[in-house]
Amino acid sequence: MYTQAMDIPNTDGPTAVPAINEQAREAEFNERAGRGEIVEAKDWMPEAYRKTLVRQISQHAHSEIVGMLPEGNWVTRAPSLKRKTILLAKIQDEGGHGLYLYAAAETLGTSRDQMLDALHTGKAKYSSIFNYPTLTWADIGVIGWLVDGAAIMNQVPLCRCSYGPYARAMVRICKEESFHQRQGFDLLLALSKGSEAQRAMMQDAVNRWWWPVLMMFGPHDKDSQNSELSMKWGIKRISNDELRQQFVDATMPQGELLGVTFPDPDLRYNEARGHYDFGAIDWSEFWNVVNGHGPCNKERLQARVDAWEEGAWVREAALAHARKQAARVAAAAA
Ligand code: BYC
């Protein structure tokens, strides 16, 4: 994409470019990003753009792999072989999404080890939603329907993100997320046609997950410190509040079909606005969870750290194998 003054690859290092060019390059970058052009890994980019992307993509990757944990809780208790197979496939997909995203973030010059270290030491964030427990089988359906539904709403615009490697990873992720959302809805549809107790279990799960799902979209636009720059650079295309509203509007008819209600007395269609109104979000709960004090934060982080430590021998064996292969190739060439 970037030619002329910006054609100098980032690897030249800052000293290779006269400082006077820096502002002009940045202005040209902003202008092109604003026009919707795509930035590739070797293009010049402002350090703040690179930093913002590494922050968002690595947080997103962490969310995918931590997101495997609440669902993993139900693999051994799925009610049928069919449901167990579907759940296993979904959880594997989330692991794959984590890999695409870590790989996209690595193109920005941050190593996977650095990102994982930030996760394991509690410095990096991941989505607040995965710090809530999965108490019943209906939670698995609600995660698919509402959590993946919110994820799709947030992630489809990211397929048009200005950073090419992230945008391309998102295309594949969104296709899989849409299957995840439908499997959740399908699971709940089965419960809705089941016994009174099954319907009550579904309603209870919706009651517990509804507000945390609305929090997934992040703080209100006026409190979103990263939005202004991210929107200017075309990393984010639609604001937190707009996406939240689109999600509520899209979800209401689906809830009607399932025969569930939502735990919000202020939720009603507003003819004048052409949208659903909804009640105030408890932001103190959101920040409490984001800052590490949600119901499952400690458990989730510990599970990731344990997996990393217990998997050390696999990484060592893979590296030893790669070294052996390389030595063999070198010996053959000699
Ligand atoms: N949880 O300025 P803001 C999935 C943080 S994966 C925790 O608006 P931004 C799935 C935010 O990071 C779901 N933290 O930020 C996986 C910022 O703190 P820092 C994850 C949150 O980046 C498996 C501060 O609050 N999806 O769905 O402009 C199975 C202020 O916020 C949250 C993605 O990561 C939160 N909910 O906007 C099933 C998508 N919200 O970083 C499903 C990509 C905000 O300044 N990410 N914060 O310390 C995004 O689109 C944006 O990063 C966000 C936040 C909309 C999440």
Q: What is the pLDDT of residues 204-248, one digit of tens each?
A: 999 999 999 999 999 999 999 999 999 999 999 999 999 999 999
Residue 57 Cα to ligand 1 middle (Å): 10
Question: What amino acid is encoded at 186 in this protein?
Answer: D
Q: Shortest CA distance to 102 belongs to which of 64, 140, 150, 73?
A: 64
pLDDT computed for residue 279 by the predictor: 98
Q: Is 227 in the pocket of ligand 1 (CB under 6 A)?
A: yes
Is the CB of 125 within 6 Å of ligand 1?
yes
3-class DSSP assignment, residue 51: helix
Alpha helices in 2-147 (DSSP H): 19-34, 47-66, 68-72, 81-106, 112-120, 137-142
Residue 183 near ligand 1, beta carbon < 6 Å: no
Query: What are the pLDDT digits (tens) for 139-186?
Result: 999 999 999 999 999 999 999 999 999 999 999 999 999 999 999 999
Answer whether 192 contacts ligand 1 (Cβ < 6 A): no
Ligand 1 atom closest to the Cα of residue 66 is 23
The preferred substitution site among 49, 52, 54, 63 for testing ligand 1, maximizing ligand atoms within 8 Å of CB, is: 63
At 20-38, the pLDDT tens digits run 578 888 999 988 888 889 9
- Residue 243 near residue 156, CB atoms below 8 Å: no
Give residue 144's pLDDT.
97
Of 131, 119, 135, the closest CA to residue 73 belongs to 135
* Euclidean distance between CA atoms 165 and 167, whole angstroms: 6
**Contact, 75 vs 38, CB < 8 A?**
no
pLDDT at residue 32 in the model: 87
Q: What percent of the chain has pLDDT over 90?
A: 89
Instruction: Name the pLDDT band for 19 (thresholds 50, 70, 90).
Output: low
Neighbours of 243 (CB within 10 A): 21
Q: How is residue 80 written in tokens?
A: 């049928």
Q: Mean of the per-residue pLDDT values for the chain?
A: 93
Question: What is the pLDDT, as a whole number, of residue 14?
Answer: 46
Question: What's the half-sphere exposure (Cβ side, CA atoms, 13 Å) at 248?
Answer: 25
pLDDT at 34: 81
Q: What is the pLDDT of residue 35?
A: 84
Which tokens sit at 219? 């703080």
pLDDT (0 to 100) of residue 36:
87
- Residue (of 256, 151, 172, 266) closest to 206 by Cα position: 256
